[in-house]
Homo-oligomer: A and B are copies of this chain.
Amino acid sequence: MPDTPQHDLPKPVLLVCTTCRAGQPLAEGETPPGRHMLDALEHALAAHPAPPVELRPVTCLSVCRQGCAAAMTQPGKWSYLLGHLSPALAGDLLAYGETYAAHATGAVLPSRRPESLRGAVLGRLPSLAEPSKDNAA
Contacts and interface: CB of A to CB of B under 8 A. Distances in A.
Contact of A137 (B18, B54, B66): B18
A122 B81 CA distance: 9
Contact of A56 (B1, B121, B135): B135
B18 A124 contact: no
Contact of A15 (B54, B83, B125): B125
A62 interface: yes
Given A73-B128, A128-B13, A123 B56 contact: no
Q: Which 9 A-B pairs have the closest CB atoms?
A: A63-B123, A81-B123, A62-B124, A57-B137, A57-B134, A62-B121, A62-B123, A61-B123, A122-B122
Most B CB contacts (10 A, CB to CB) among A56, A81, A83 go to: A81
B123 A79 contact: no
Given A80-B62, A128-B75, A69 B123 contact: yes
A40 interface: no
